[in-house]
Amino acid sequence: MSVEASPLPALLPDPSEEVQRGSSHGALRFVARRVLAGVLTLIAVSLVTFAALQLLPGNVASIVLGRAATPHAVALLDHRLHLDTPFFERFVHWMGGAVHGDFGDSTLALAQGLPNPKISSLISQPLTNTLILAGLTIALLIPLSILLGVLSAKYADRLPDHVISVLTLIFTSLPEFVVGSILILIFFSAMNLLPPVTLVPTGSSPFDHPDALIMPVATLLLTSLAWTTRLVRVGMLEVLRSDFIRAERLNGLPERRVVWRDAVRNGLAPSIQVFALSIQYLVGGVIVTETVFSYPGLGTQLVSAVLGRDVTEVQAITVIVAAAYIAINIFADLLVVYLVPKLRTAL
């Protein structure tokens, strides 16, 4: 930090001591502990998912095959899905494969006798497409919400702030499918500018059809931007009222430097967890948004697996998504500790 004007409270340990303690050992232990907790959570989440999907009512094979299935066909499918082995053995076997990227076979694809029922190959293209959609959204979300949040705090209780706060309140309230449909009504029905569905033939990338990406990204942005903007504003307001910013202004430093350099640097650390939360929130948003635009991603794949009651595929996608969800959380925690030295003393 360039500005050290705010005096450290006497309760905090001496900064020089903090550097030593915070350096290698404590920090490493903290990272290790956090990652270990994340791995344990992921195992617990996988176990709950596995139990919910495979212990609950009915026989998976007979549900998927339908009532007309012969006992022989059911037994055969049971065997292919390892449903004839004990629950915990099945779980350990599945986890062992999942660690190596092998999530077993899709129940539905097996039942229909498709040539390649491997879940890993069924979801690799949708996974890439979803990462493109989410990546683009995040890359725009962070700078835009900082810009709007800082403007809102800078003009607190004046016109720009009111406009931003009303708009963000409205968009925070709306579900993704409502925002997506409004965009379709405007840009397809009324203006005929953009396609209402994202057609990406297998083998080609969504980047080959950039106009089809605009509305899905805009939907995710509008619904999550609102939330992050509101919270960046809160953090910035606090910093802008602080003594060191007042001192800088009284010293006649240019307003642009005061706000955009010093205040932003100090006001954003608390926002990191907000961004992590909203990126986590994107997980749900992506599932719905992809469905609105028939975007060929993991979300649409998951919804059709749920509707087809493809137990093994739902399980694989759930665990992959939960892993990303947990990883984002850990990453944000570590980033905050890295950026806010004060927190390192607690390690």
Partner 1 sequence: MSSRLRFLRSPGGAIGAVILTFVLLVAFVGPFVAPYSPTAAVGEPLAGPSAHDLLGTDEIGRDVLSRVLHGGYSVVLLALAATVIAYASGLIVGLVAGYVRNWVDPVLMRGVDVLLAFPPLLFLLVLITATGTSVAALVIGVALVQAPGIARLVRTVTLEASVRGYVEAAVTRGEGTPAILRREILPNIAPALIADASLRYTFSVLLIAAANFLTIGLQPPTSDWGLMVSQNQQYIAINPWSVAAPIAMIALLTIGVNLIGDAIGRSLGRSTAGWAR
Residue closer to partner 1 by CB (options 117, 196) is 196
Angle among Cα 36, 38, 43 to the nearest 5 degrees reads: 95
Among 30, 187, 227, 244, binds partner 1 (CB under 8 A): 227
Residue closer to partner 1 by CB (options 168, 258) is 168
Among 91, 260, 281, 338, binds partner 1 (CB under 8 A): 281
Angle among Cα 259, 261, 267 to the nearest 5 degrees reads: 70
Residue closer to partner 1 by CB (options 258, 320) is 320
**Residue 322, interface with partner 1 (CB under 8 A)?**
yes
**Residue 56, interface with partner 1 (CB under 8 A)?**
yes
**Residue 332, interface with partner 1 (CB under 8 A)?**
no
Rg (CA), the chain: 25
Closest alpha carbon to 282 in 196, 218, 221: 221
Q: How far, CA to CA in Å, does 255 sit from each of 89, 144, 237, 249, 250?
A: 65, 20, 15, 7, 11
Token readout for 24 is 């290698």
**Residue 287, interface with partner 1 (CB under 8 A)?**
yes
Compute how many residues bind partner 1; rule: CB under 8 A: 54
**Residue 91, interface with partner 1 (CB under 8 A)?**
no
**Residue 185, interface with partner 1 (CB under 8 A)?**
yes
Q: How far is the CB of 237 from partner 1 (least distance, A)?
A: 11
Binding region for partner 1 (CB under 8 A) out of 21-29, 114-122, 143-151, 311-319 = 311-319
In the block, tokens 């129940």 appear at 107
E strands in the chain: none
Among 212, 305, 316, 337, binds partner 1 (CB under 8 A): 305
Q: Around Cβ 170, how many Cβ atoms within 10 Å?
A: 12
Among 146, 231, 258, 268, binds partner 1 (CB under 8 A): 231
Residue closer to partner 1 by CB (options 286, 337) is 286
**Residue 159, interface with partner 1 (CB under 8 A)?**
no
Residue closer to partner 1 by CB (options 263, 319) is 319
**Residue 52, interface with partner 1 (CB under 8 A)?**
yes
Closest alpha carbon to 270 in 147, 157, 146, 160: 146
Give the torsion through C-alpha atoms of 132, 172, 277, 220, to 10 deg: 0
Rounded-to-5 percentages of helix, strand, coil across the chain:
75, 0, 25
320: Cα within 13 Å, side-chain hemisphere:
23
In the block, tokens 């309140």 appear at 169
CA distance 267 to 285: 27
Residue 138 burial (10 A CB sphere; 0-12, 13-18, 19+): middle
CA distance 103 to 187: 40
**Residue 156, interface with partner 1 (CB under 8 A)?**
no
**Residue 283, interface with partner 1 (CB under 8 A)?**
yes
**Residue 108, interface with partner 1 (CB under 8 A)?**
no
Q: How far is the CB of 109 from partner 1 (least distance, A)?
A: 16
**Residue 321, interface with partner 1 (CB under 8 A)?**
yes
Q: Are 313 and 122 in contact (CB under 8 A)?
A: yes
**Residue 292, interface with partner 1 (CB under 8 A)?**
yes
Residue closer to partner 1 by CB (options 18, 228) is 228
Interacting residues toward partner 1 by CB under 8 A: 41-42, 44-45, 48-49, 52-53, 56-57, 63, 169-170, 172-178, 181-182, 184-185, 188-189, 196, 227, 230-231, 234, 280-281, 283-284, 287-288, 291-292, 302-303, 305-307, 309-311, 314-315, 318, 321-322, 325-326
